[in-house]
Amino acid sequence: MFLFTRPESYRHFARAGFSNFVSTEDFAEKYGFEKVSEQFVQECKSKAVLYKHKKTGAEVMSVSNDDENKVFGVVFRTPPKDSTGIPHILEHSVLCGSRKYPLKEPFVELLKGSLHTFLNAFTYPDRTCYPVASTNTKDFYNLVDVYLDAVFFPKCVEDFQTFQQEGWHYELNNPSEDISYKGVVFNEMKGVYSQPDNILGRRAQQALFPDNTYGVDSGGDPNVIPKLTFEEFKEFHQKYYHPGNARIWFYGDDDPNERLRILSEYLDLFDASPASRESRVEPQKLFSKPVRIVEKYPAGEGGDLKKKHMVCLNWVLSDKPLDLETELALGFLDHLMLGTPASPLRKILLESGLGEAIVGGGMEDDLLQPQFSIGLKGVSDDDIPKVEELVMTTLKSLAEEGFDSEAVEASMNTIEFSLRENNTGSFPRGLSLMLRSIGKWIYDMDPFEPLKYEKPLMDLKARIAEEGSKAVFSPLIEKYILNNPHCVTVEMQPDPEKASRDEAAEREILKKVKAGMTEEDLAELARATQELRLKQETPDPPEALKSVPGLSLLDIPKEPIHVPTEIGVINDVKVLQHNLFTNDVLYTEIVFDMSSLKQDLLPLVPLFCKQSALLVQLLVIIAQGQNLNHCYSHHLQLILPELNLNFTFLYCFVGSIVLVNFLIVCSQSLMEMGTKELDFVQLNQLIGRKTGGISVYPFTSSVRGKEDPCRHIIVRGKAMAGHVEDLFNLAPWPPSRMCRAAIALCVNCILQEVQFTDQQRFKQFVSQSKARMESRLRGSGHGIAAARMDAKLNTAGWIAEQMGGVSYLEFLQALEKKVDQDWIGISSSLEEIRKCLLSRKGCLINMTSEGKNLMNSEKYVSKFLDLLPSSSPVEKTTWNARLSSENEAIVVPTQVNYVGKATNIYDTGYQLKGSAYVISKYISNTWLWDRVRVSGGAYGGFCDFDTHSGVFSFLSYRDPNLLKTLDIYDGTGDFLRQLEMDDDTLTKAIIGTIGDVDSYQLPDAKGYSSLLRYLLGVTEEERRKRREEILSTSEVGCRVYRFSPKDIIIMSIDSEVEFFLDLYSSLILLKEHYLHHVLSLKDFKEFADVIEAAKHKGVVVAVASQDDVDAANKEHPNFFQVKKAL
């Protein structure tokens, strides 16, 4: 019997060991590269080497460090000349099969069966990025190879049907029916162009850059996409997808020489090309005078349309790229003006009462020329000039008067803390660095410079200390904004008829297309439609599937990821401590019980707290200096991480409680009201100066096996270890001790000292929250539908919907009027919420840091708890409410739909098994992907199983269909019953599920996920049991074999010393050859009977257009109860 370590570890060891005998330069020379530059980047503790491939000119950045989360990316400059969306459609299409991997979508096979920590692609206005990441070296190189083959040798340039599927095509099922447009990107962009904020951003960019590539939409305008031809599509790939036009990035702890060897296998197949010269982006010349444009946007018929205008002022700051120090100073200036609720430009605009919410992204520097945008939405048509004047007078005042020293210190600390912490959440650190570097590198500038912030930061701080902040920031405001004529003002006017006009115009175009066809043409189109659908719905042959490299179950750790957790008690309160390396940052959560709160106060909770609707992942990207405003993603789950990826570390054990955090739209009072001694500006500055950030938000979820839901308020904070005393010593320090008790005063003020007396500020919160909810209805309708269905099926879902769904929007609409009528009553209700929450009873403390910091914190935790009341003055209440179970259609002005259907499968008697995780993921990545997205034309379709509540839900995103999608959901049971699956397919499904369970986490996320498991009663024993069940989906009923020496074939030792690797591979092949999955397929077929409950008893909620809802109710009378939300 032989014992072996994991093969990917040994592969790395063997090659790295052999590489030590050969210099890096010799390896580079051997594989056709020359070293351009080598630097050690202290900020990310990495050795970075820039290479150039001699034959093609391809540039490669090889970054080596001890980060196990390895990242690869290849980026091409892809400047479009029109708005047909070529770069975007190509980005989708190249991942649909290639030379080595000739199946329909290798990308989906990787989603199914790899341990990736990132797998996506995205399109900018001038470049296209293809990044992957994994902590498993074998898996990582598999991903790299699939992506390299995809971008350089895609099938799509020879396959017209892929172009039709991902881009656009005419669809005709029967010559007697109407022709329609279909295509994944086409429908994705229809959704984009249904959202007013997106329309505003695109119109502003195009007006700012009329003379270069930024003057068109790289994502594609739905009105222009059908003008794209297959020939133009092919030519674009041939022209720009060449190594000479590529920037290639490697990052992590894998062997840097192996990286060059892998690349050489592809790059050596090409010759030099002029692509790099032809793809250069020319700068936009600055205007001599400002420009103004007026656009219409689709609006609902409800509300006062005169108060639904939008206005935004936009500048291009320079006719050429800026140096790093100026960029850094402008970034600080942006944060000073807009970064917090207390920032003066943001504060003055919102307090003016001229609009409901801020629009414009502030400073953006991800393109060749930096921009600045600011404005308001929810503006009365009469107040448009007042908004423009207020923006300019405020900027002028800031230039003349400068900024408060405390504000400067707060911004400096906030940005510096973020840079040094380098907390990118579930977004790989290497990818964050890649995007930062590419921002310069893609324009032929120094790729190292953006990685090195230390010197520019110190220089800026020194300059501020020496010259004063006014001398630094005032000239920037004057030069780049006030005295800059390159300004475009965009006014957006609401038009309730625009959506129907656009649909009518599209129907008229298609009517003319059909009128111009002969009977033979129509018959051919119907035949081509059926042929495309048949191809889309026909599985790949087994031999094609086997071409995609994968892992073995022997590559998968048998034990779940361990998070050290020590449970203690301080002052009768449980304290969870996680001893993990955090680089001297202390992360803490203070959990309060919400069970004594009256049911009718629930909708006020989001306004009582402070929690942005933007997801942690996206916030982290922005904090790291990245901007995805201009970015289109290949895969739905990057730009909409709420679908599961943002919180994948909770996937198997928390389920759709993710949705709850996502649905808390904009809770504000605690963080944005003043106190007895500090106004809210001083409070925010104090938080910025002395902490890494504090947030307060509600958390609710069903708990499996219990009637009562989990319902808490969580206060999250982080600070350097030197401020631990401040973090927990919550005594109300007098102002003279403010600096010493930084976070102490912050948290104390937030929890106990905030005054709910500022009526006008509270009304602003309500207006801002209402505006954000209205935006979510259009852009994230799947989240709204999911929340609504949950509210019909369980109490926890009802609670969440009251705090973040359509019910919450309706509450906000009524509250906006009530603030003026009954402010005393509202203020009293907010105070009642505080009294119900603040108590040691039911309180829990969670801390994550190094052991010494945790030990040092205990005495401060004790002091903090002493200050809390021992019990709540209000008794625990029982919440047992649900929405009525009829099917609902939430009607909004949109060109696409979001279709949901759900049921509680525990009500059928189903008992949770680990195989359910494998099956639900398989359904999403096969049946729903193929039928809802590929064949149906939606941007996304997926299912979700909340193991705590038992709710199994189907959802689609940017979907051109409604009833057809529901039919697909109802066909899931038959799909599972008819399923045939070989060993390889099942192994992929298991490995992909484990990849979700084991998704990469930084230390703070590990501590936080452990806290949530504790709150939900998920034990380590249950985690192990579920993991065993997942893995045994393939092992139940398998024969057991022992290997003897005669079973082993020892291969010859090659030049790269892979001696043990071949021995190990032989064992793997033998083991997998003897796997017989006797009961695994039975699990899938048994689950089909469970899923039938959704077909017969499921609730349906769709966020959809009026036309599609009317058509559905005409086909099935009274199928939907209609609710107009906008």
Nearest CA among 88, 312, 343, 350 for reference residue 198? 312
Rounded CA gap, 1104 and 579, in Å?
A: 48
Known catalytic membership, residue 810: no
Please enumerate in sequence order all residues whose Cβ is within 8 A of that of 521, keeping only pairs 6 or more positions apart, or say none. Answer: none
Q: Which of 8, 59, 109, 166 is catalytic?
A: 166
At position 509, the amino acid (one-letter code) is I
Contacts of 384-392 spanning 24+ positions with Cβ under 8 A: 384/309, 384/311, 384/491, 386/352, 386/354, 387/311, 387/349, 387/352, 387/354, 387/355, 388/311, 388/313, 388/489, 390/348, 390/349, 390/352, 390/354, 391/313, 391/345, 391/349, 392/313, 392/482
Q: How far is CA 1030 from CA 356, 559, 704, 993, 996, in A?
A: 48, 12, 19, 8, 12
Q: Are 139 and 114 in contact (CB under 8 A)?
A: yes
Q: Are 609 and 669 in contact (CB under 8 A)?
A: yes
Alpha-helical (H) ranges within 209-271 are 230-240, 256-267
Nearest CA among 818, 832, 826, 949 for reference residue 882? 949
Strand order, beta sheet including 1099-1104? 940-945, 951-957, 898-904, 1099-1104, 888-891, 1121-1124
Collapsing DSSP to helix, strand or coil, 931 comes out as: helix
Phi (first) and psi of residue 1062, to 5 degrees: -70, -40
Nearest CA among 308, 349, 84, 354 for reference residue 196? 308
Query: Which uninterrupted H or E stretch holds 888?
Result: strand 888-891
Rounded CA gap, 262 and 244, in Å?
A: 17
| C-alpha dihedral, 538 to 543 to 546 to 547, nearest 10° | -100
Q: 10 Å Cβ neighbour count for 526?
A: 18
Rounded CA gap, 1077 and 1033, in Å?
A: 8
Strand order, beta sheet including 844-849? 566-570, 573-579, 844-849, 585-593, 710-720, 694-701
Nearest CA among 200, 276, 270, 277 for reference residue 245? 276
Please enumerate in sequence order all residues whose Cβ is within 8 A of that of 826, keeping only pairs 6 or more positions apart, or say none. Answer: 604, 762, 815, 818, 819
Q: 10 Å Cβ neighbour count for 201?
A: 22
End-to-end CA distance of the chain: 69
Count helices and strands in the chain by DSSP H and E runs: 44, 30
Q: How far is CA 986 from CA 141, 557, 992, in A?
A: 22, 17, 10
Report strand pairing: 844-849 vs 371-379: unpaired
Identify the bridge partners of residue 577 per DSSP, sorted by sequence position: 566, 847
DSSP-derived letter for residue 408 is H
Angle 504-505-506 (CA atoms, 0-180°, nearest 5)? 90
Return the HEC string of 717-779.
Answer: EEEEHHHHHHHHCCCCCCHHHCCCCHHHHHHHHHHHHECCCCHHHHHHHHHHHHHHHHHHHHH
Residue with tokens 């409070």: 683
Return the HEC string of 419-479.
Answer: HHHCCCCCCCHHHHHHHHHHHHHCCCCCCCHHHCCHHHHHHHHHHHHHHCHHHHHHHHHHH
Q: Which of 8, 91, 188, 1029 is catalytic?
A: 91
Known catalytic membership, residue 1072: no
Catalytic positions: 91, 166
